[in-house]
């Protein structure tokens, strides 16, 4: 799920085919700047959906005209095959800039699609701190909590007061998905001590320390936890984010609600293929193919994959109700927090 702001002063297309036809018309016109001007007026999410209908050369022509941040959104939203083709066709310096503009978890997914030599060269072009984050994420499997988590997490020491934290947050431009929980950690070891919901923070007396009001019974997972278990925990406890800790209970990162929804969608599509005998379906036919899944009887759903499809469908609905009123797409912003050790967002 894309990290770019969901609300922008751009035109929103209800039908991807509308964007496809507009792109092809602009390209046929051969007017200087026509195609670039057109795509700059669309939200990158709409561009990503249109990419599924465009031919390879058309995709590459459009992708080359996108700004790095918008190109990153497109790489997150398109199918893996399309993403891999676009990444492979992009110059290394430009690709490094695009990946650097993406959230680390999404950027690492793109790097995984590259051949080993190109991946190393691209990582070498990214600033050391961001490159180190990406290299760390690359060690985790795609279907684990570590593979879908982001290391960008808001945490604070227990002796910090509510007023101090709020004052700092007001002075920073933070991604909306970060503003769900603040994790309380030991200042020296980064061991997770507790968590505080941001809604609770607002009503906490200004002079009260975070350690006095935090919830100490924190639901956590380890980097090697299967993403299906992550989905179940998020749904069971109605969480907007799930912290990932190592064996020493040190905070490694978080799996956010948008990452969970992505995982649900991927698992849902995979299991639909199982229900229908593992038949390969072209990307443009997936929507219709998924629609057929809802016509499969309950008995068949229970038979295939131990009922996991039913879990996915009901969980997806519950999660979408949970995020109603929350912005889950955000703009990545990096900064150093003066009141907390280490790099944060």
Q: How far apart are CA 252 and CA 191, in angstroms?
A: 9
- Given 139, 168, 193, the domain boundary residue is 139
3-state helix, strand, coil in the chain (%, to 5): 55, 10, 35
Taking residues 32-51, report their average pLDDT.
90
Close Cβ partners of 104 (under 8 Å, ≥ 6 residues apart): 130, 133, 134, 137, 150, 151, 152
pLDDT, tens digit (0-9, with 9 covering 90-100), for 129-172: 999 999 999 999 888 999 999 888 899 999 999 999 999 888 88
Same domain assignment for residues 204 and 339: yes
86-95, 110-119, 266-275: segment of lowest average pLDDT: 266-275
Whether residues 188 and 222 share a domain: the answer is yes
Domain end among 139, 174, 198 = 139
Strand partners, 155: 183
Confidence of residue 210 (pLDDT cuts 50, 70, 90): very high
Whether 17 has a pLDDT exceeding 90, the answer reads no
Overall domain count for the chain: 2
Query: What is this structure's pTM?
Result: 0.69
Strands 192-197 and 241-245: unpaired
Q: Could you tell me which residues are beta bridge partners of residue 184? A: 156, 194
What range does the domain containing 176 cover? 155-226+241-254+335-344
- Per-residue confidence band for 261, with pLDDT thresholds at 50, 70 and 90: confident
309 belongs to a structural domain: no
Q: Is residue 36 domain-shared with residue 128, that is, in the same domain?
A: yes
Residue 305 belongs to some domain of the structure:
no
- One domain for residues 37 and 183: no
Whether 216 is covered by a domain: the verdict is yes
82: in domain: yes
Same domain as 221, residue 97: no
What pLDDT is attached to residue 12?
61
């Amino acid at each position: 799920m894309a990290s770019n702001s969901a609300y922008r002063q751009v035109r929103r297309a209800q039908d991807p085919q509308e964007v496809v036809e507009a792109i092809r018309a602009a390209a046929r016109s051969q007017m200087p700047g026509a195609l670039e001007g057109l795509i700059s007026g669309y939200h990158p999410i709409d561009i990503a959906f249109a990419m599924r209908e465009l031919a390879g050369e058309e995709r590459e022509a459009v992708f080359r005209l996108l700004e790095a941040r918008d190109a990153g959104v497109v790489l997150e939203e398109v199918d893996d095959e399309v993403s891999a083709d676009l990444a492979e066709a992009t110059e290394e310096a430009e690709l490094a800039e695009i990946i650097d503009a993406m959230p680390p978890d999404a950027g690492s997914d793109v790097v995984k699609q590259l051949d080993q030599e190109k991946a190393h060269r691209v990582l070498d072009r990214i600033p050391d701190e961001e490159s180190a984050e990406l290299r760390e994420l690359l060690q985790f499997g795609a279907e684990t909590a570590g593979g879908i988590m982001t290391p960008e997490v808001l945490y604070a020491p227990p002796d910090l007061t509510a007023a101090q934290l709020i004052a700092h947050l007001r002075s920073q431009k933070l991604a909306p998905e970060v503003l769900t929980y603040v994790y309380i950690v030991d200042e020296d070891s980064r061991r997770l001590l507790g968590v505080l919901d941001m809604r609770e923070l607002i009503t906490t007396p200004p002079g009260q320390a975070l350690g006095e009001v935090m919830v100490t019974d924190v639901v956590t997972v380890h980097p090697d936890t299967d993403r299906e278990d992550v989905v179940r925990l998020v749904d069971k406890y109605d969480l907007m984010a799930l912290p990932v800790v190592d064996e020493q209970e040190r905070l490694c990162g978080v799996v956010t609600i948008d990452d969970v929804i992505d995982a649900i969608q991927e698992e849902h599509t995979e299991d639909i293929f199982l229900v229908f005998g593992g038949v390969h379906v072209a990307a443009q036919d997936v929507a219709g193919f998924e629609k057929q899944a809802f016509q499969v009887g309950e008995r068949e759903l229970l038979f295939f994959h131990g009922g996991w499809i039913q879990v996915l469908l009901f969980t997806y609905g519950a999660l979408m109700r949970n995020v109603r009123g929350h912005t889950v797409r955000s703009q990545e912003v990096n900064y150093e927090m003066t009141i907390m050790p280490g790099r944060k967002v």
